Amino acid sequence: MFERLRKYPEALALEQQIRAAGLLPEGANDPSRIFQNQLAQPLICLYQAMAWAVIVAELPEIELFAGYSLGELSAYACAGMLKTDDLLHLATLRGKVMSAAAKQAQVMLAVLGLNAQQLELIARDSGAFPAIRNGARHLIFGMPLDRLDPFREAVLAAGATRVVQLPVTIAAHTPLLAQAAADFREELEKVQVYPAVAPVLSGISTKRVYDREGMLDALSGQIQQTIDWQGCQEAALACGCRVFLELGPGNSLVRMLHEEYPEVEARSLSEFHDLKAAAHWASSKTF
């Protein structure tokens, strides 16, 4: 992930600054540990901050920022509301409190082919909680591990076309992480917040956030509340956005956007050999 960024002076300088300040958690250089929650989260945020440093000066004016799950934290940094050192501190803390709050084994399951109304009763009876709404018939649920089989069997019996167990061990965006949300909010309130260059869409309300209180509510709330990613896409389109650039890593958000709205211009940085070419592409599509 990082090697392709280090050829850009802006990204390399930021990484060196962060490492010199000792802002990465212990174990971040150990390949055997980087998938641990308290390490993976700050590393992903550092990647996004480095990518943003490369392209920001080349981009046209930004109308909105949005981020999926952890990406919402990076979105506030890209919007200028958080400094990079606070971003990494908060990402590390977020990983720690989420892991600590998962007292029992947990799991998340994507369900395709059924709508929210059809799934509501099944989830309630099975002990599952809605975590993310990606589309009208693409929802993700979190639950204790011992509720996985009953829930999976029930949704398949109800007509789900596909179920996919996600490679995670924490049921994020569900009430199972209420304590993590409270602990994160307590630390978040200590962080300096700066004026936004453009609003960030709240993942739980899909409202535009400009200020400190809105950010506190959004970032702490999304740990224990359902993320409405479909609503975020709809809100962006309602605001007139038609050109979307995903920082990544990967291109899953672009794929979801194209599935629902094939007419929009949407690409991921991962599609470009040269990151600055991605910024030039975005500039060429705006008018």
Residues sharing a CB contact under 8 Å with residue 41, sequence separation 6 or more, in sequence order: 70, 91, 92, 94, 95
Give the span between the Cα atoms of 157 and 149, in whole angstroms: 12
pLDDT of residue 35: 81
Q: How many CB atoms lie within 10 A of CB 217?
A: 18
* 106-165 belongs to CATH 3.90.230.10: no
Give the span between the Cα atoms of 94 and 41, in whole angstroms: 8
pLDDT tens across 92-106, in order?
Answer: 999 999 999 988 899
pLDDT tens across 71-90, in order?
Answer: 999 999 999 999 999 999 99
DSSP state of 286: -
**Mean pLDDT, all residues of the chain:** 95
| Residue 287: pLDDT over 70 | no
The strand pair at 162-165 and 106-112 is best described as antiparallel
- Mutual orientation of helices 116-126 and 148-157 as an angle, nearest 10°? 140
Q: Which helix (H) or strand (E) holds 206?
A: none
pLDDT tens across 138-167, in order?
Answer: 999 999 999 999 999 999 999 999 999 999
Whether residue 150 contacts residue 95, with contact meaning beta carbons closer than 8 Å, is answered with no
| Token couple for 55 | 């392209």
More confidently predicted of 36 and 193: 193
Q: Position 3: which residue type?
A: E
In the chain, % helix, strand, coil (3-state, to 5) comes to 50, 15, 35
Look up the CATH superfamily of 9-101+174-285: Malonyl-Coenzyme A Acyl Carrier Protein, domain 2 (3.40.366.10)
Question: Three-state secondary structure along 37-73?
Answer: HHHHHHHHHHHHHHHHHHHHHHCCCCCCECCCCCHHH
Give the span between the Cα atoms of 100 and 102, in whole angstroms: 6
CA distances from residue 86 to 47, 70, 189, 205, 258 in whole angstroms, order as listed: 15, 14, 12, 24, 33
Burial code (b: 16+ CB inside 10 Å, e: under 16) for 84-108 equals bebbbbbbbbbbbbbeebbeeebbb
Q: Which helix (H) or strand (E) holds 22?
A: none
pLDDT of residue 62: 96
pLDDT tens across 127-145, in order?
Answer: 999 999 999 999 999 999 9
Q: How many CB atoms lie within 10 A of CB 33?
A: 14
Whether residue 158 contacts residue 117, with contact meaning beta carbons closer than 8 Å, is answered with no
Ranges of each domain in the chain: 9-101+174-285, 106-165
Q: Which helix (H) or strand (E) holds 205?
A: none
